[in-house]
Amino acid sequence: MDLIATVESKYLKDKLPDFNAGDTLKVHTKIKEGDKERTQVFQGVVIQRRGKGVGGTFTLRKISSGVAVERIFPLHSPNITRIERIREGKVRRARLFYLRGVKGKSARIEEKRKEEEEKET
């Protein structure tokens, strides 16, 4: 098992922000179109995190022009250039699949306040 861990450690990213379900993230990904390469930004709410190590993924959900879009990102993908945490959400679940069935104000996630963060630590 140590051999697998040492091989995987080369591919793990060092500077990943600490985030959980309910947080709003901006993910910058590299997109290749023919000869050109550009960066595309996807901003949404984390509805789940799965797995550990190289195989870890997270799912982001956003509403774009009234259409819900969900995208699954590998956590340690070389195509992800940067992950920024915009807001920290206050939720009581690890998987937020209930957001798929709600619209409008009920789909909003309350932001965690600074006072609550200090109490936790």
Task: Look at residue 94 and tell me whether its pLDDT is greater than 80.
Answer: yes
CA distance 56 to 114: 28
- pTM for the model: 0.83
Q: Which CATH class is domain 2-106?
A: mainly beta
Domain range summary for the chain, segments of one domain joined by +: 2-106
Other C-beta atoms closer than 10 Å to the C-beta of 38 total 9
Q: Where are the beta strands (DSSP E) in the chain?
A: 24-33, 36-50, 57-64, 67-74, 80-87
Residue 116 has pLDDT above 90, yes or no: no
Per-residue model confidence (pLDDT) at position 113: 84
